[in-house]
Structure 1
Amino acid sequence: MNLYRSARAVAGASGDDAIDWRSAADAAKAATEAGSLDLEPGEREGYARDVRDARAAVRSISGVDFDVPDTVEIQNRHHWIDANVATFERVMGALETHTETFPGIARTINTGTMTVLLSFLGRNVLGQYDPLLLADSPSDEHALYFVRPNIRKVADMLEVDPDRFRRWIAFHEVTHAAEFGAAPWLSTHLENRMEDGIAALSDGSFDREAFRDLDAAMTVVEGYAELLMDHAFDDEYEDLRRKLDARRQGRGPLQKLFRRLLGLGLKQRQYERGKNFFEHVVAVRDLETASLVWDHPENLPTHDELDTPGLWLQRVER
């Protein structure tokens, strides 16, 4: 880690855009230890086996015929930063196209902010299913990433078997692949609502409905993934969830502030709210009924229906 090199990269931000993405990536990597990719014997095959087993189990439980991405990578933290800076650039690019040229001081501040974001996430993300939203080409493949140094670090902190913890992460990320396989329209739906919200922000307004719809859709994505995990994972998992929740609660004030600023508290609320919705649906109906959310966009629950699943059941079962 080289904080001087990181600061120098931010200070050297240039170009005409709101953020100098190359400088942000360089600065984030300078501020973040890459972590080891010295795999133990059999570890690479362990990752591959976990993904294969997760695909078979989730297919069986969900009844969804899907495949995992061709791109499945074991990454260090710098690899994750490089892979995700392009995603952030695509999303933010929709805002930049509506905005005049940025003065140098604003670009430097924005680049520094993005550096902090990429560095913090790079040190904390365990696994990621990336649907490549707003990709330049429809032929771009989805991707599945495992940040091996973070998985090993957290497994040690939680005092759990690293192979078991890795497998749990693999199952969770593969459930997201199942969702996008079950709903080919989902990527476009998320992109459209995201673009609507960003376009409104660039015009100086706030499209409340666009962001509410996006939040509801992501709540369904996270909640359904939790539902499939409960049914598909082939080992006990409550201790893993309990220890991860305790770790989140036990973070220091600075980390809690970062999580709040980055919206990670919102993500946790989406997990919990979505899981409660689907648990109710399965309790009064079954998993097949819960999967109706993926038939078409109109079947996604509204914000009110997420908190009152009975209303959603009445609507989709007419």
Structure 2
Amino acid sequence: MNARPATLPSSAEAPRALDWNVAVGTAVRLMKPGPEVPRAEAGRAVRSLRRFSVDAETHVRETTGLGLDLPIAEGDVVDRPDWVRGAAFGLAELTGAALSAADSVPPRGGELLGEISARSAGVQAGVVLAYLGGKVLGQFDPYGESRVEGQRGRLLLVAPNIVAAQQSLGVPADDFLMWVCLHESTHRVQFNAVPWLREHFAASLGQLLSQMEGGSAELLTRLPNVVREARTARRAESSPGMLGVLELLQSPEQRAALDRIIAISTLLEGHADHVMDAVGPQVVPSVGTIRQRFTDRRNGGGLLDRILRSLLGVDAKIRQYAQGAAFTDHVVGRIGMADFNAVWAHPDNLPTRAEITAPDTWIRRVHG
């Protein structure tokens, strides 16, 4: 199930706020092995995922009208350690691009202290990657290295996790593999058919990072109010979660920058969920059953798993899928896919975070 390993930035490169090589090493050591799968079954899964990644993208293009003339390639079918390496490479590239866009250099505080800080951050990132490495089914990394001329980014399909999820859900194997490929292939189409999206996302993250510089003292001055608000929310059984606490700590400028990132991410994830279900009935006969059981799986888990999901922001990600899909469903239902695609015409056409939950306001703004 292995693909070619991603080459991580050299440890000699400076300055860095996080040592990604340490992150990878930590994650691989902590990560649980994948499920035991007979060799013949594993081979069938790998071959099917490669084939379905091409078929799925063809269906996505026909449904969305995006990227019809672009080259197409198989996805990379990987195991858990290779996903960690690929994710770390993509995150290193994204954060590097974001820092460049922000014209920002992470503070080091001296070579020795900077190296210790970077390694410590790498260990923390490794713990997160180890947890996610056992959960992630697939990922399109727009900052990864493509093997195909005319394509940007790298599509990763984590075979052990996909097989484990399919077996736990009790759904047909081919249907589930195709369904996963539809979601991830939609992301590949988004970033390859919309030339400005990759750079715009990095620039938006850069704006957030630039707003966060030098804000530690300011954050501390707001901490007592945050604690009081969080306690009030808990008593009302409406805890804001980690994302809510982060927003309470932010200045108005920081919150505006975070809102832009959340709005973009929510649109991308929701659009992918809409497309995978819109295509589904044609090529995935059991799509209704898969969607219901998968949604239950997203919301389930033991106590420890739910705590970790909250701390790592996974629950916030799940809400993004639902909100973004509802936005896309509503707009496409009202004005059709062709007019929905105005969202990709220019960065100014992207919905705001407020418009995600009030899609008619986006329709009025963009289409009059």
- TM (norm. structure 1) is 0.85
Cα distance change, pair 208–160 in 1 and its aligned pair in 2 (3 A): same
Deviation at 1:68? 6.5
String of CA shifts for 1:129-167, please: whole Å, max 9, x gaps: 1111899xxx99410111111111111111122222111
Q: Supply the RMSD in Å over aligned alpha carbons.
A: 2.8
Q: Does 1:220 align with 2:220?
A: no
1:106-125 alignment, distance < 5 Å: 106-107=117-118, 109-125=120-136
The answer to which of 197-206 and 252-261 deviates more is 197-206
Q: Distance in 1 between matches of 2:118 and 2:51?
A: 44
Give the CA deviation at 1:251.
0.9
> C-alpha offsets along residues 214-268 of structure 1, whole Å, 9 cap, x if unaligned?
1111111112112212221222312212212222332112211221122111211
CA distance in 2, matches of 1:183, 1:16: 31
**TM-score (normalised: structure 2):** 0.74
C-alpha deviations, 1:246-296, integer Å up to 9, x for none?
Answer: 223321122112211221112111111111112211222212121111111
1:240 alignment partner in structure 2 = 290
Partner AA of 1:21 in structure 2: W
Deviations for 1:34-83, whole angstroms, at most 9, x for unmatched residues? 43684535444322321222122112111112547647211110111111
**Superposition pairs of residues 69-108 of structure 1, within 5 angstroms:** 70=73, 72-93=75-96, 97-101=105-109, 102=113, 106-107=117-118
Please tell me whether residue 211 in structure 1 is matched to residue 222 in structure 2.
no
Distance 1:103 1:177 in 2: 36
Q: Residue 21 of structure 1 corresponds to which residue in structure 2?
A: 20
Listed as ranges, the matches of 1:1-318 within 5 Å are: 17-35=16-34, 38=39, 40=41, 42-66=44-68, 67=70, 70=73, 72-93=75-96, 97-101=105-109, 102=113, 106-107=117-118, 109-132=120-143, 141-204=152-215, 206=250, 207-233=254-280, 234-235=283-284, 236-318=286-368
Q: Is the Cα–Cα contact under 8 Å of residues 134 and 191 in structure 1 kept in the other structure?
A: no
Conserved 8 A contact 1:71-1:141: no
Matched AA of 1:223: G
* % same residue: 31
Name the CA shift for 1:281/1:99 in 2 (closer, same or farther; >3 Å).
same
Hey, what's the Cα distance between the residues in 2 that align with 1:272 and 1:292?
A: 21
* Aligned-residue offset at 1:18: 3.8
Change (3 A) 1:297 1:281: same
1-side partners of 2:312 and 2:53: how far apart? 29
The letter for the 1-side match of 2:47 is E
Q: Specify whether residues 61 and 201 from structure 1 end up closer, same or farther in structure 2 by C-alpha distance, changes over 3 A only.
A: same
**Code of the aligned partner of 1:302:** T
Aligned counterparts of 1:266 and 1:153: Cα–Cα separation in 2: 24
Matched letter for residue 51 of structure 2: R
Contact 2:67 2:193 in 1 (8 A): yes
**Letter of the 1:100 counterpart:** R
Q: Aligned with 1:286: secondary structure?
A: helix
C-alpha distance in 1 between matches for 2:206 and 2:119: 25
In structure 1, what is the Cα distance between the partners aligned to 2:144 and 2:349?
21
Question: CA separation in 1, counterparts of 2:349 and 2:44?
Answer: 43
Residue 307 to residue 51, structure 1, CA distance change in 2 (3 Å): same
CA distance in 2, matches of 1:182, 1:210: 25
SS at match of 1:61: helix
Closer, same or farther: CA 179–107 of 1 in aligned 2, 3 Å: closer
